Amino acid sequence: MNRGKFRVITLSADILILALSFVLMSMLKPAGLKAYMMSHITFFVILAFVWLVVSAVSGKIGRGRIVNLRTLFSRVLTANLIATSIVALLLFAMRDLGYSRQVFFGTAITATFLELVLGSVYFAFRKAPLITPAEIRLTERELVARSHPSDASDIIPDPALTMRLQEGCSRLRAEALSSMVAREDAARLAIVSTSEAFNIQNLEHDQYTCIINLKPLNSIRKLDSFLDTVNGRLSGDGLFLCSVETLEQRAVRLREKLSPVVWYLVLVPDFIVNRVLPRLRLTRRLWEFFTKSANPPFSRAEALGRLSRAGFAIRQEKFAGNMLCIKAERRSAPKPVNENGYGLIISLPRIGRDGRTFNVYKLRTMHPYSEYIQDYVYGLHSIAEGGKLKDDFRVTIWGRFARKVWLDELPMIVNILKGDIKLFGVRPLSKHYFSLYDDELRSRRVQYKPGLLPPYYADLPNGLDAIQLSEMKYFDSWDRNPLGTDIRYLARSVYNIFFRNARSA
């Protein structure tokens, strides 16, 4: 049985169970079924709509989500409790309190009971089907090892350089950094261990072919300014080698250092102090005052993004212990710093109609400074299904959830109201993503206003080439019948989203 058919069956069963529960509760009232069918029909429609939407979003009626009795009880009870609570709040907000509480709560409780009983009977007669294991999410170390294999470089480490580096850092880190520097790159080399831009500015020579800083990026207070200074002290395509303790490696270090009980006790306070307070405008200054901005945790994406913002191209990454060593090459002057890099609502430049660039509003789902390394991630991992970048480590844990339920797209309603986009149309693209398209489609794209829901959800293409064909087909149809095309594509998209579990995460 395919997923779409399974969704239709489970959705129909959900409606039938809810309707039977409503009828049963109405029959138990003294006035009888006929009276309550007339007076409570609006209530039932509201309850049924919310009930089904919550069931679809939570996965209660999705194939492969309920695989045993534990997941059955968990998903049914959670989804039905949320739906009942939402309807109760809606009725209270509308001051529509004339509905029978027995019918209201009795319908919800009876429907829940019947779903649990029927579900238990189903699992009693038939074992849960085998489910294809979800794709294993690679760790940070595994991603780096895959994109930067140790045998890909032909550089022979200089033992003398390794010994010099080892005077200021661990042997593992010294060996990792040394393996990134060729002899010609070390023609004019500076090795420092500093967190102050002043010390970089006052190096002996005007320009260097390579600068190695043994101080982790975490210990540099004004990191953006520091990196700008390093950029200015390097020759044309000079190298900058540095290291950083990433969020993931910091978590590993703390788990190894602390007992499980202590780790769980410090987990929440550590997250609030080191991840929340530095990113809120109201508390950022306070955090800087008490901590002197010491050792802020950086994600891998933020560390690479800060380097890219400062005019560097990432050439190599390698782990040494819990430190990520980075080899960056100077490519341009630094770009301006976005002072609101940690905001919850972000605006991203996108190419719209007539090639005009406009700002799209979204909830932040990526680590700060991620926008500066889009081409780097594309070069490492290319495009996945759905048109998104594959193995995109820039997306946060919260971001993956927000994208799955489309929370990140909600602020784009403002763009619809401003007239930048419409409800249905091709996705507004960044400059880099737009450059990946064929010339013909690029020239065609700028003739139309982009939209919130793209043709992807209607056709479900696989890969960039298929996405381009899907968009070209949409444009051809839209030219013949604009309104009819948008209505048809919108209906197919809604069906695929709710009944075929279409996602573009």
For 231-266, write each residue's pLDDT tens digit: 999 998 999 999 999 988 988 888 888 888 888 888
Predicted confidence at residue 129, as pLDDT, reads 41
Stretch among 54-68, 109-123, 144-158, 196-210 having the lowest mean pLDDT: 54-68
Higher pLDDT, 67 or 298: 298
Higher pLDDT, 439 or 388: 439
Residue 52, C-beta contacts closer than 8 angstroms, at least 6 positions apart: 11, 14, 15, 61
Stretch among 27-36, 99-108, 422-431 having the lowest mean pLDDT: 27-36
Stretch among 37-51, 169-183, 268-282, 327-341 having the lowest mean pLDDT: 37-51
Average pLDDT over residues 143-159: 81
Does pLDDT of 208 surpass 90? yes
Furthest CA-CA distance within the chain: 95
Does pLDDT of 97 surpass 60? no
Does pLDDT of 136 surpass 70? no
Q: What is the DSSP string of 18-83?
A: HHHHHHHHHHHSTTHHHHHHHHSHHHHHHHHHHHHHHHHHHTTTSTTT--SHHHHHHHHHHHHHHH
Long-range contacts of the stretch 84-91 (C-beta < 8 A, 24+): 84/108, 86/50, 86/54, 87/46, 87/47, 87/50, 87/51, 90/46, 90/50, 91/43, 91/46
Stretch among 87-101, 108-122, 200-214 having the lowest mean pLDDT: 87-101
Does pLDDT of 303 surpass 80? yes
DSSP lists the bridge partners of residue 298 as 246
Predicted confidence at residue 130, as pLDDT, reads 38
- Is the CB of residue 323 less than 8 Å from the CB of residue 311? no
Full-prediction pTM beyond 0.85?
A: no
Average pLDDT over residues 36-64: 73
Residue ranges of domains in the chain, CATH in brackets: 3-125 (no CATH), 140-246+298-330 (3.40.50), 345-499 (no CATH)
Predicted confidence at residue 403, as pLDDT, reads 81
Percent of the chain with pLDDT over 90: 34
Does pLDDT of 104 surpass 80? no
Q: CA-to-CA distance for 445 and 488, rounded, in angstroms?
A: 20
Does pLDDT of 299 surpass 70? yes
Does pLDDT of 66 surpass 80? no
Phi, psi torsion values for 439, nearest 5 degrees: -60, -40
Predicted confidence at residue 132, as pLDDT, reads 39
Residue 94, C-beta contacts closer than 8 angstroms, at least 6 positions apart: none
Average pLDDT over residues 67-92: 79
**pLDDT tier at 442 (50, 70, 90 boundaries)?**
very high
Q: Is 354 left (phi over 0), alpha (psi -120 to 50) or beta?
A: left
Stretch among 56-60, 94-98, 166-170, 381-385 having the lowest mean pLDDT: 94-98
Report the chain's mean pLDDT, rounded to a whole number. Answer: 83
> What DSSP character marks residue 336?
P
Does pLDDT of 119 surpass 80? no
- Is the CB of residue 426 less than 8 Å from the CB of residue 470? no
Predicted confidence at residue 127, as pLDDT, reads 47
**pLDDT tier at 301 (50, 70, 90 boundaries)?**
very high
Look up residue 450 and give its two tokens.
């982009």
pLDDT digits (tens, 9 = 90+) for 260-271: 888 888 878 887
pLDDT digits (tens, 9 = 90+) for 372-404: 998 898 888 776 655 667 788 889 888 888 887
Predicted confidence at residue 339, as pLDDT, reads 60
SS3 category, 175? helix
Distance of CA 303 to the CA centre of its chain: 17
Predicted confidence at residue 131, as pLDDT, reads 37
C-alpha to C-alpha distances, 6 to 11, 13, 14, 63, 497, nearest whole angstrom: 8, 11, 12, 7, 14
Positive or negative, the CA dihedral 486, 487, 489, 495 is positive
C-alpha to C-alpha distances, 227 to 50, 193, 306, 328, 330, nearest whole angstrom: 52, 14, 8, 11, 11
In this structure, which amino acid lies at residue 15? Answer: I
Where are any strands of DSSP class E within 172-296? 189-192, 208-213, 234-244
Higher pLDDT, 232 or 50: 232
Predicted confidence at residue 347, as pLDDT, reads 85
Predicted confidence at residue 189, as pLDDT, reads 94
